[in-house]
Amino acid sequence: MEGWDPNTKSTLTQIPLLTTKAGPRDGAAWTTRLKEEYKALIAYTQMNKSNDNDWFRISAANSEGTRWTGKCWYVHNLLKYEFDLQFDIPVTYPSTAPELELPQLDGKTQKMYRGGKICLTVHFKPLWAKNSPRFGIAHALCLGLAPWLAAEVPILVDSGMIKHKDDATSTSES
């Protein structure tokens, strides 16, 4: 965890760790895991709200809890940039991390695989592997997506690849 800012570190320590090693094909054990995922997500969302650092919405898109959809946003130069967020829980979860997707940014940055999967290889995958199965979705958002947005959104905005929604509507109207 060297090289991480103290803020992220202290946030991370407050997200409850998970204990059940179970994937979507493990029946009752997966339900137990899913409960732990919810508890960690609830705790993390509450923490963000109380620290005035709310930055995502996520909820299960199916009853099995294998597909998740929502939104995430990042504030750059006092403007809020919001993106759709989606991912599947892989069959080999939690040995392998979920592949977080921002489909609206597909093709706009090199730090992304096909289909809008953000690149987590260097900054996040090793951490996930070392902490499996104690990390869950909340940890993936905190350590995977948040730093990615912080690194990529400013570059995408400055290079003109993405525009703020107010700018976009005003230019299209004129």
Active site residue 119: yes
User: Could you say whether residue 119 binds another protein (CB under 8 A)?
Assistant: yes
> What angle (nearest 5°) sits at the alpha carbon of residue 90, between those of residues 136 and 149?
60
**Minimum distance of another protein from residue 87's CB (angstroms):** 10
> Active-site residue among 12, 41, 119, 157?
119
Q: Which two tokens stand for residue 67?
A: 């597909």
- Choose which of 13, 50, 77, 110 interacts with another protein (CB under 8 A): 110
**Which CB sits closer to another protein, 61 or 164?**
61
Binding-site member from 75, 129, 151, 155 for another protein (CB under 8 A): 129
Q: Among all chains, which residue has been given the structure tokens 């290889």?
A: 121
Q: In this chain, which of 126, 155, 166, 169 binds another protein, going by CB under 8 A?
A: 126
**Span from 6-14, 28-36, 152-160, 165-173 in contact with another protein (CB under 8 A):** 28-36
Nearest residue to 98 via CA among 153, 151, 58: 58
- Those residues whose C-beta lies under 8 Å from the C-beta of residue 140, and which sit 6 or more positions away, are 97, 98, 100, 124, 128
Q: How far is the CB of 166 from another protein (least distance, A)?
A: 24
Q: Enumerate binding residues for another protein (CB under 8 A).
A: 19-21, 24-25, 31-32, 34-35, 38-39, 41-42, 45-46, 49, 57-60, 64, 66, 70, 88-92, 95-96, 99, 110-114, 119, 121-122, 125-126, 129-130
User: Which positions are catalytic?
Assistant: 119
